[in-house]
Chain A
Amino acid sequence: MSGLVALTGREIKKWYKNPFVLFISLIQPIIWMGLFGKAMDLSALAGGSAAGLAAFKNTFGVSDYFSFMAVGMLAFVVLFATMFSGMSIVWDRRLGFLNKVLSTPASRGSIIMSKVFIAVIRALVQAGIVLIAAVVLGLRFGANFTPLTLLATFAALFLMSIGLSALFVAIAIRSTKWETQMAIMNLLNLPLLFASNALFPTALMPTWLQDVAKFNPVTYGVDAAREFILLDTINWTNVTNDFLFLGTFAIVFAAIGIVLSWRYLSK
């Protein structure tokens, strides 16, 4: 236990000692919001007619595309922040730090979980900053928005980031090449983002893609966040589903990560 605290403490120190990295990782989602969200205002396609806008609101749930995609960007930052958990374990291996830790009594699981926790902390802090930026850029809250639903949003993002970072750590657990890890990240990030409701409603996607999106945790995280932040009436059945899926996802992958660490962290 003291090992887990110490290793997570190390990661937090490394993080705040390099504020530049935080700054860089925030620029990308904010640029996406500013350019993509504002430029491609899909609600403009409705042509300004009342019927068109109603149809837009019917599929997107909100009447402006910017708010819709800005909440999607919360999932985007979570996705990117958690991907680096895998990179960081590869670095620890390459620099010999991992071997050093493996020779101490620190439990193998705590090595994995410290990577998961720092990814979660970074993901949530970055999501918070991006949400503030979105509000500044014109995000419109739903009628039901309260501090409590904000908290619930972050609870959903928390579960999503636990599962995702455990997944990426598990992929990287034996890797010695950060290039491989980088390639895997590039391979996964856009499909995970586009095969979800983050930027576009799944209802308008071809059915095969809808089926993929159904297994994509990003879909559930974004859905919960939209319900809590944007919608005027919260659909509690949807929200319960979202939390069930995300909770299971988090528990299963954290467990897989820990079991793999016992077996595969050392060769």
Chain B
Amino acid sequence: MDNNVIDVSDLTKQFGELTAVNHVSFQVREGEIFGFLGPNGAGKTTMISMLTTVLRPNGGAAKVNGHDVAHEALEVRRSIGLVPQEYTADEDLTGMENLLLIASLYEVPRAEARSRAGELLDLVQLKDAADRTVDTYSGGMRRRLELACGLINRPKVLFLDEPTLGLDVQTRAAVWEYIRLLKEKYHMTLFLTTHYLEEADNLCDRIAIIDHGKIVALDTPRALKDSLGGDIIEIHVDRPAEDGLAASLGALPNVKHVLPVDGGYRLTVANGEETAPLVLDAIRAHNLKATRISIAKPTLDEVYLARTGRTLRDQEGSSDEAFRQRIVTRRARA
């Protein structure tokens, strides 16, 4: 028995001519936060829709909690929760009514549903708004209600499609806290999509970078960044360095590349924080004094750039992004 909660092999989805998800394979382990990072139209929602049995794949297979999404859809549905990209709660109903509605779709008994809904509204701090109709909620409140709806059946795996899209910084941080809590307190497995680099970096145990329907990289955020060659340590010394220093620096563990620069060296290292003390020791061993040291971390954006040839930052805050957020809000208000 492996402990893969999601097992995807060769999954493909076409919409006419367009291949939205192109022969994708990956596994998600029990209890991890797994992120799908990619720009608009990369195929993130399509992937979630297939894993949650909303869309039928054209090829390949996927198992969620050991059940095949195509042939054992009902078992899959019982064991998962979904927080969709859009605000899907019914605006004419109250927050509480929405939760009870979703609970009965999972056949949670009425009394049990009431107590769970109360707990969840407490968790996402909507208790005071529970009996207001959803059309009076703010964007952040609606997102939190969606989160609560996704949890009402106590799923083993929760799918979150761009859970912080269009939220301000504080609300985004609050949503991250809820997500971490679910992992730590309830040992839930979380699959989320995002096109925010910070979100992928801060929140996810592992990330798949997806572009045009294909996974172009998959690892921990740390390893992805390290794969670029690692951190950059720049160190300056008090007098011109002796000949042997460059060689001893190059011989240190983790150091990949040494480049002499004006007044010191620039090192490419696998693990900046752990390597910096060793670098200082080596300098001291040569009877020199370090006058200045800096460690620079490569960001996921650089990883993204290296793998796709484009940068994700360009897309954040672009008109496209603004347009999409308007759509989410307009749909929400319509």
- In the assembled complex, the Cα of A147 lies from the Cα of B74 at a distance in Å of 46
Partner pick for B92 among A17, A103, A104, CB 8 A cutoff: A17
- A142 CB–B CB distance under 8 Å: no
- Interface residues in A127-179 by Cβ distance below 8 A to B read none
Partner pick for B87 among A6, A94, A96, A99, CB 8 A cutoff: A96
- A51 CB–B CB distance under 8 Å: no
Partner pick for B88 among A5, A6, A7, A96, CB 8 A cutoff: A96
Partner pick for B56 among A6, A10, A95, A267, CB 8 A cutoff: A267
- In the assembled complex, the Cα of A3 lies from the Cα of B78 at a distance in Å of 13
B38 → chain A closest CB, angstroms = 20
Question: Would you give the 0/1 interface string for B27-41, flagging 1 where the beta carbon is closer than 8 Å to chain A?
Answer: 000000000000000
A145 → chain B closest CB, angstroms = 39
- B86 CB–A CB distance under 8 Å: yes
Question: Would you give the 0/1 interface string for A231-267, flagging 1 where the beta carbon is closer than 8 Å to chain B?
Answer: 0000000000000000000000000000000000011
Partner pick for B86 among A5, A7, A10, A95, CB 8 A cutoff: A95
- Interface residues in A66-95 by Cβ distance below 8 A to B read 94-95
- In the assembled complex, the Cα of A7 lies from the Cα of B105 at a distance in Å of 8
Q: Please state if A100 and B56 are interface contacts (CB–CB under 8 Å).
A: no
Q: Please state if B86 and A103 are interface contacts (CB–CB under 8 Å).
A: no
Q: List the B residue with the shortest CB-CB distance to A16.
A: B92
Q: Please state if B107 and A3 are interface contacts (CB–CB under 8 Å).
A: yes
Question: Would you give the 0/1 interface string for A99-123, flagging 1 where the beta carbon is closer than 8 Å to chain B?
Answer: 1111111100000000000000000
Cβ-closest 9 pairs across A and B:
A6-B104, A96-B86, A96-B88, A104-B105, A103-B52, A106-B105, A103-B82, A100-B88, A105-B77
24 chain-A/chain-B pairs, Cβ below 8 angstroms = A2-B104, A5-B104, A6-B100, A6-B104, A7-B105, A9-B101, A10-B90, A10-B101, A13-B92, A13-B97, A95-B87, A95-B88, A95-B331, A96-B85, A97-B88, A97-B90, A99-B84, A100-B84, A100-B102, A102-B53, A103-B52, A103-B80, A105-B74, A267-B55
